[in-house]
Structure 1
Amino acid sequence: MSHRLTGRSVLMGITIIAGALSPGIAGAAPAAPAPTNLTLTVHQGADTRTAVLHCDPAGGDHPRATAACRELASIGGRLQELSSRRPERLCTMDYRPVTAQARGTWQGRPIKQSVSANNRCLLRARTGPVFDF
């Protein structure tokens, strides 16, 4: 009996073996990012405001959750990059110090960071929608 292999039968055999060795690779979806759960707090004098922010998907009680998650994603969750931004809008120079704090996790990584500014306008200018609540 002759065992003659044609190019087509060899190709079909390789395809079957490759499929058996790597099940699910072709149809595997990328892993979803670890959850983001942050408690954001803004202190100014006796006034304290708090918002909860979830990302992937955006949610919580933050009024601009989608925009805040997008902003955080653009800096890889490194909040210190927000405080180093130069404001793009004009703010008065009145001195009413404000401190904002984020605690929780960004894509599973623990975060506990603070940002300070001379007034609420400067805070919003530097941090965008993240602390705008």
Structure 2
Amino acid sequence: MLRSLSLALAAALLLPAGAAHAETKPTTPRKLDLADRVAGTYRGDVNSDARGSSKSGVTITVTRIGPNKVEIRSDYARIPTVAIPLEKAMDAILAASGSHVFLLDTVRSPDRLDLTIDDASWSGNRVAK
């Protein structure tokens, strides 16, 4: 009896503090936000560019980088990578601040995205997954 108690005590001393009573708490799923709603790949055209000509077949990738915040990447060099905070106004998801235009109408055209970044205006639709 004394020997088994000594072994149990020795084993407990070898564990980090609190490890013997550590419980795994279930993680609750993160609440989806505006960035989740708009994340995806879109394909469309630069229809106006103050510094160059229009361009067809431009792919835009929208990635969630934080709560209600996305990163915009393009395969067209004239549209730089930018981070845009989002907000909802009535039926639209818009840029919350900054000089960029981000517009997605969640009711009329929920898969259409309109952007203006660095004086280049782009419009396109979500690519089916």
Normalised by the length of structure 2, the TM-score is 0.33
The answer to which structure, 1 or 2, has the higher relative contact order (CA under 8 A, 6+ apart) is: 1
How does the TM-score come out when normalised to structure 1?
0.32
